[in-house]
Amino acid sequence: MSTTTETITLTASLKLTTQQDMSSPSHPPPKSQKQMTKAERREQQEAQRAAKAAAKTAPVQPKPGPSHGRNASIGGKGTTPPSGGTPKKSGKEPTTKPGKGEPKEALHPSSQLDETPRGLRIFSHFGTPKPPAITKGDIHPAVVRLGLQFAEFKITGANARCIAMLTAFKTVIQDYVTPRNNTLSRHLMTHLSPQITHLVSARPMSISMGNAIRQLKLDVSGSDIDLPEQDAKDTLCDTIDNYIRDRILLADQVIQETAGKKINDGDVILTYARSSVVEKSLLHAWESGKRFSVIVVDSRPMLEGKALLRSLTTASIPCTYLLLPSLPSVLPHTTTLFVGAHSLHANGAVFSRAGTAMVAMMAKSRNIPVVVCCETYKFAEGIRWDGVSKNELAPTPFPPSSTSNSDPHSLKPRPNLSILSPLYDLTPPSCITAVVTEVGIIPPSSISSIPGALGRTMIGA
């Protein structure tokens, strides 16, 4: 295992000692690494690993080390709680050892007894997917259930997640009791914060959820102090209902009508993965009598297009289904591309399911209009230029609840193989022809002017 050179052991011993101190304070002060023989070093490390596995309940935060690359992989490992253990780890105790075992200048470790994959060196700042951490504090059962559903990808899609979260929060609010000497408007958010953290640990928060929570915080802090508690809670639940109704459901209705006007008889509509609002628009256009056909493009690992295909064919819409690599062969037949969005950024870029950028770029290069359907509550304040700065990785057997044996074609993690599946990517505004929102069809460059026109102060409010 430890084929480290002298220099590496020296620098790494810093980390070892600090972590040792943090995990097992009863350990005798370590001899200098130079003084120990190889066998003794190995013994020490095995002991540390055992101690750490026994003692640890929360992920250890590594001190910033000298080598950034090593730190990144350690960081990637460090966030995986050993108690849970992702399927990638296949039950082995995670340690910092394999991370340390890949120094930049060292040789390829010859005897890797540990089969744990080394972790992703790039994209490790996304954090590896993990099951929800053991909860501290009272997490409401509705939120626990929601967290599980998120982690197992049973609820996917920005709209679905936001609505599910808000509905769970309504239950939490109704069950909430203001502690004595405190007011609802001040304490409720403190009560909700760990619930939110629990959901974030299951899956990173979407922009839609973030904007909804921001609005909720505003409403909670603005709630009247003099109201009796039940009335205040009911008012809050009504506000949540109104938010869902106005910003999501009604907005979707306006979008589906507007987008429906852009669909004509005989058109071939291309769509990617599954967007709830695009699905609604296509069904609405079909019901209003337009006769067109749809090409559904899909990709692994999520294969959401299958669900869309089922829904469209149930409505008798003629559909074609293909995977992303075969896209160029159907583009000559396409009239328009409709995609959904996870979020829209101030510079007009669209953050959406991984693969959308490719489809949009190819369509744009053939002068096929690219139409993005997105509600205004998904607008994000920041500017993003690429999908690398912030993204999410799919867990490696996908969905996480299934065993890896179920799909014989799925890649299994191996020591030399890291599987990278970002869930999102960024489509630049130059590839987008039009954005359909509930306030009308706008070019992507005008996204920043919408809040002003609606009397709101900031994007996503």
Residue 262 touches another protein, criterion: CB under 8 A: yes
CB atoms within 10 A of CB 33: 18
Query: Do 220 and 176 meet the contact criterion of CB atoms below 8 Å apart?
Result: no
The answer to whether 108 touches 4, Cβ cutoff 8 Å, is no
366 binds another protein per the rule CB under 8 A: no
CB-wise, 450 or 459, nearer to another protein? 450
CB of 278 to another protein, least distance (A): 15
Residue 133 DSSP code: P
Least Cβ distance, residue 455 to another protein (angstroms):
7
Minimum gap (Å) between residue 360 Cβ and another protein = 14
Of the residues 90, 182, 221, 449, which one makes contact with another protein according to CB under 8 A: 449
Query: Are 8 and 66 within 8 A, CB to CB?
Result: no
**H-run or E-run covering 349:** none
Contact status: 263 vs another protein (CB under 8 A): no
Residues 295 and 320 sit within 8 Å (Cβ to Cβ) = yes
- Which of 94, 434, 459, 460 is the binder for another protein (CB under 8 A)? 434
Kindly write out the interface string for residues 37-76 of this chain, putting x where it contacts another protein by CB under 8 A and - elsewhere.
----------------------------------------
Query: In terms of CB distance, is 382 or 452 closer to another protein?
Result: 452
Nearest alpha carbon to residue 269 among 248, 288, 244, 294: 294
Say how many residues make up the chain.
Answer: 461
Is the Cβ of residue 318 or residue 440 nearer to another protein in the bound state? 440
Q: Please check whether residue 275 is in contact with residue 305, taking contact to mean a CB–CB distance below 8 angstroms.
A: no
Is position 369 an interface residue for another protein (rule: CB under 8 A)? yes
d(CA 213, CA 224): 19
Least distance in angstroms from the C-beta of 442 to another protein: 6
Question: Smaller CB distance to another protein: residue 388 or 442?
Answer: 442
26 binds another protein (CB under 8 A): no
Phi, psi dihedral angles at 355 (to 5 degrees): 115, -25
Give whichever of 136 and 366 is closer to another protein, judged by the CB atom: 366
With binding defined as CB under 8 A, does residue 250 bind another protein? no
Cα dihedral across residues 273, 276, 282, 283: positive or negative:
positive
Cα dihedral angle (11, 13, 14, 20), rounded to 10 degrees? Answer: 160
Query: Does 455 engage in binding with another protein (CB under 8 A)?
Result: yes
Long-range contacts of 400-407 (CB under 8 A, 24+ apart): 400/87, 400/129, 400/131, 400/151, 400/152, 400/153, 401/152, 404/87
In the complex with another protein, the residue whose CB is nearer, 156 or 281, is: 281
One residue of 80, 206, 391, 433 binding another protein per CB under 8 A: 433
By the rule CB under 8 A, 442 interacts with another protein: yes
Asked if 376 touches another protein (CB under 8 A), the answer is no
Q: Which of 124, 77, 50 is nearest to 388 (CA)?
A: 124
Report cis status (omega within 30 of 0) of the bond before 29. no
- Window 310-339: contact mask with another protein (x via CB under 8 A): --------------------------x---
Residue-wise DSSP of 169-221? HHHHHHH--PPTT--HHHHHHHHHHHHHHHHHHHSPPPHHHHHHHHHHHHHHH
Closest by CA position to 368, among listed 261, 262, 219, 255: 262
Q: Does 450 bind another protein (CB under 8 A)?
A: yes
Least separation, in Å, of the C-beta of 371 and another protein? 7
Q: Smallest gap, in angstroms, from Cβ of residue 291 to another protein?
A: 14
DSSP string, 163-177: HHHHHHHHHHHHH--
Closer by beta carbon to another protein, 88 or else 262: 262
Q: Does 440 bind another protein (CB under 8 A)?
A: yes
Residue 157 — left, alpha, or beta (φ > 0 → left; ψ -120 to 50 → alpha)? left
439 binds another protein per the rule CB under 8 A: yes
- Pick the binder of another protein from 66, 179, 325, 452 (CB under 8 A): 452
**Residue 16 or 251 having the CB closest to another protein:** 251
CA distance 262 to 258: 7
- Which one of 34, 454, 456, 458 is in contact with another protein (CB under 8 A)? 454
Q: Which of 239, 271 has the CB closer to another protein?
A: 271
Of 10, 50, 54, 453, which lies in the binding site for another protein, with binding defined by CB under 8 A? 453
Stretch that binds another protein, among 31-39, 175-183, 302-310, 435-443 (CB under 8 A): 435-443
Q: Footprint of another protein on this chain (CB under 8 A)? A: 262, 336, 367, 369, 371, 433-434, 439-443, 445-446, 449-450, 452-455
